[in-house]
Structure 1
């Protein structure tokens, strides 16, 4: 299968490396002036992995799109609309776009598959999402994990799972695109909360966070028309270990550094996703106390201790 992976950050480069490893014809595409692209183009390696000679590297977007049967996109989710404006200039007939990113568009509250759908003819071009736990640092060392692929099109997701499955990544067929996308996006938000607890030295409280956060995420998924059980699947709860405990999680590290008063200069998608989910929950009338308090800390300069106090002072209620 001819696959173009657009975006060559740590996840984009890992996806290209993985798909090549399992036998696909892979192109890794990026922006000509981006440092991560330059490193791969000139040295065929980055901080996480090295590319074999079989992976083509190109900054020619037209060529990258037109050569591919499957276009995998792995970029900052808040730039997806702008990126799709460029991609949609080319013929996408018969192609499948796979989104390997987690987030909600902050300006519109749309899921990422909904953003893409505005630029395509859904009868001619299919959209899928690929989410779940794991870190490039682990995959390149041969440490396996499980992930999920979801789509509105049954045949597309079954085909992708069959083509992408291996002993390194066991894929599952998703059954709830809404829940898969909302759950995956919200996981990054909770990752920031976990980092804040680490920064405070309250690491044991992450157990409570892990138990309670999926409850409010499930409520949002349900009111959005999805299956609330998705919050307990690979897209959300299944991804917690990789985000809430890993030293490699950008979102967890962002939260820890914030508490310590240190600047974190890598991309933490959960920041803007917090704002997006906060606005979405208000619009849908869903109570999300953890998200609400994080929003106030990130965007209204609330101190973390009063935010925690607010959660613990809420009315006592049954767990379920």
Structure 2
């Protein structure tokens, strides 16, 4: 039996812990809140994050990080991306050379612009081959109800990717492996930025045409930056790219989309974050994407306009006008296919 520690008793951490318990794994989950810990242990529910879900009786929750992590073979990080570095530093003394780290957070370290695998490699030197990213279109609310879901396990190590695949895969949760860790991480982080934008579109009262255009142009921007940073372009056409983008941009479960709706409806960023009540990864991801686009000299007009809305008080309606009135271009050239593609000039 594999001993697994899940750090983070939010919706996704709780859903994954439930899935693993149902597979017969011994699972401990760490919660920051004593009230949440008591609820999981005594009532076997987590009403704040997964209302209506009945959790396994075997799932143990604790607020003591050392008790949760010590002796575990696998650590699953289901934490806000901006806290990953801090918690890795805290658990570092409790890990050994064979501990597998499975990250599910989708974001960047905003201060350094590092992907989270790079953060882990900095904090835990030599751990690169024991690190995997689990990502894809996977709302916790549906996974805990055992609705069919497909994700990817990405790692520099084929052995680790396949280990994580075997750990999580079941009849309702299909796991593919992918060697492109860079692309999978970037797809997961950047789709939150585009989801904020589609939410803003909804908040402004626009329709399906606008949303479809935003998603299509969004994946083009994700792909441009992703390839510039070393990702495989095919990854962005897969589950952790366009798959995750679609679900995050269209679902009522998406907190990034909900945040965008609030902003499009006229609320400030602070009012929006207070109303959503949970971490909105797309906010920090927008800041990181804006800086990375400058660093890699990649054109990302959607990201630029979203950055101006969030951090420079630009009106959302003005941002839409700026995007629609940009200099005309050729779509194929714009997504990176160079050369004259016309048969007849």
Partner of 1:201: 205
Structure 2: give runs of 5+ residues left out of the alignment.
333-345
2:256 to 229, 251, 255: 251
Partner of 1:45: 45
Contact 1:195 1:256 (8 Å CA) reproduced: yes
Aligned partners of 2:39, 2:329: CA distance in 1, in Å?
A: 54
Aligned length: 319
1:108 to 88, 93, 112: 112
Aligned partners of 1:166, 1:91: CA distance in 2, in Å?
A: 27
Matches within 5 A, 1:162-181: 162-181=166-185
Structure 1: give runs of 5+ residues left out of the alignment.
none
Partner of 1:185: 189
Structure 1 residue 96, shift from structure 2 partner: 0.3
Point out the structure with max Rg over C-alpha.
Answer: 2
Matches within 5 A, 1:10-159: 10-31=11-32, 33=33, 35-47=35-47, 48=50, 49-122=53-126, 126-159=130-163
1:271 to 272, 283, 306: 283
Partner of 2:303: 291
Aligned partners of 1:196, 1:249: CA distance in 2, in Å?
A: 13
Q: Runs of 4 or more off by more than 6 Å in structure 1? A: none
* CA shift digits 1:196-223 (9 cap, x unpaired): 1111111311111111111111111111
Structure 1 residue 194, shift from structure 2 partner: 0.9
Structure 1 residue 272, shift from structure 2 partner: 0.7
What SS does the aligned partner of 1:97 have? strand
Matches within 5 A, 1:229-248: 229-248=234-253
Aligned partners of 2:127, 2:235: CA distance in 1, in Å?
A: 27
* CA shift digits 1:264-287 (9 cap, x unpaired): 232211001100111111111111
1:311 to 315, 319, 323: 323
Partner of 1:211: 216
Aligned partners of 2:36, 2:193: CA distance in 1, in Å?
A: 25
Pairwise CA RMSD: 1.6
2:237 is equivalent to residue 225 of structure 1: no
What SS does the aligned partner of 2:110 have? coil
TM-score of the superposed pair, with normalisation by structure 2: 0.88
TM-score of the superposed pair, with normalisation by structure 1: 0.95
Once structures 1 and 2 are overlaid, which stretch shifts more, 260-269 or 34-43?
Answer: 34-43
Q: 1:13 to 1:260 in 2, by over 3 A?
A: same
Contact 1:39 1:45 (8 Å CA) reproduced: yes
